[in-house]
Amino acid sequence: MLEIRLHGRGGQGAVTAGELLAKTAGKEGKWSQSFPKFGVERRGAPVQSYCRIDSERIRIHQELYEPDLVVVMDASLIGAVDVAAGLKKGGKIIVNTKAEPGSLGLEGDFSVYTVDATSVALDKLGRPIVNTAMLGAFVKVTGAVGLEGLLEEVKEHFGEKLGEKNVEAVKACYEQVKE
């Protein structure tokens, strides 16, 4: 089973990102779960959401403590929140930042990737909502779900006009992510 934790700030779309991943996995015939860390969400406050993907029905009903993959939608969370907490050996962490992966102070038995998703979101959507952009980078780095499926899900979720812009954001970060 693949376990994914998404960190963001309220309003960045971390919960929607988890849902888009779970729905894409479902379309691909896999079993999945997504759910928010059970809390009271406020705009700007640190939030987390989770996603699990497996080849069989997922029966576990508990929070996610040892992720394989972590997405950080706002680099200012690093330090405020232990974004690498419980990250499995050989895991991957993808951060939204202009900075280089080596300069983030994230060290451990895992790989760090970065992508400037905020610039992409401002360019493609005109708003700093980075969830779909980050999923583009996530798919490229992890292959947890396929790009085609994700694009289809994004179109369906956001509708024709907004969907097209989000598809562009996904594709741009898919290309731009670096290790």
Partner 1 sequence: MKKTIEGSFAVAEVVRDCSPDVVACFPITPSTHIAEELDKMYANGEIKSYTAVESEFSAISMIVGASAAGARAFTTTDSQGLALMHEVIFAASGMRLPMVIVNANRSLSAPLSIWNDHQDSVSERDSGWIQLYCKNNQEVVDTVPQAFKISEDTNIPVMVCMDGFYLTHLVEQIDVPQRDMISGYLPPRKALYKLDPENPITMGMYALPATYQGFRIDLHEDVIASAKNIKEEMEAWAKVSGRSYGNGLWEEIGLSDAEVVFIGMGSVMENAELAIEKMRKDGKKAGILRIRCYRPFPSEAVKALAGKKAVVFEKALSMGADAPLYSELCTCAKEAGVDCELSSIIGGLGGKDVTVADIEAMLSEAEAGVVKKVWGD
Q: Where does this chain bind partner 1 (CB under 8 A)?
A: 18-19, 22-23, 25-27, 31-36, 38, 40, 57-63, 65
CA dihedral 159, 155, 144, 91 (to 10 degrees): -60
Helix (H) or strand (E) holding 113: strand 110-115
For residue 160, the one-letter residue type is E
CB of 97 to partner 1, least distance (A): 28
**Choice between 66 and 109, CB closer to partner 1:** 66
Pair of tokens at residue 33? 């779960």
CB of 19 to partner 1, least distance (A): 5
CB of 112 to partner 1, least distance (A): 28
Helix (H) or strand (E) holding 83: none
**Choice between 33 and 118, CB closer to partner 1:** 33
Q: Using alpha carbons only, how large is the chain's radius of gyration in Å?
A: 15
CB of 32 to partner 1, least distance (A): 7
Angle at 107 between CA 60 and CA 144, to 5 degrees: 40
CB of 178 to partner 1, least distance (A): 31
Alpha-helix runs per DSSP H in the chain: 14-27, 117-124, 131-142, 147-176
**Choice between 35 and 122, CB closer to partner 1:** 35
**Choice between 57 and 126, CB closer to partner 1:** 57
Backbone angles phi, psi at 132, to 5 degrees: -70, -40
**Choice between 57 and 161, CB closer to partner 1:** 57
